[in-house]
Structure 1
Amino acid sequence: MGLIERVLTLVFGADRNVIAETAEVFRVNAEAEAKRGADLQGAALRQFAAEFSCARSGWFDRMIDGLNRIPRPALALGTLGLFVAAMVDPIWFGARMTGLALVPDPLWWLLGAIVSFYFGARHQAKGQDFQRDIARALAASVPQVIDSAQRIEALRPDGPEPPAAPDNPALADWQALATK
Structure 2
Amino acid sequence: MGLIADILGFVFGSQRNVLRETAEVFRENAETGAVRAHEVRIAALGQFGSEFQRPAKGWFDRFMDGLNRLPRPMLALGTLALMVSALSDPVWFAARMQGLALVPEPMWWLLGVIVSFYFGARHQVKAQEFQHGLAASMARVPQAVENIAALDRLRADSPAAAATGTDAAARLQATAADANPALEAWKARRG
- Indicate the TM-score class for this superposition, using the shorter chain for normalisation: 0.3 to 0.5
**TM-score calculated relative to the size of structure 2:** 0.41
**TM-score calculated relative to the size of structure 1:** 0.43
Q: Considering only CA atoms, is the larger Rg found in Structure 1 or Structure 2?
A: 2
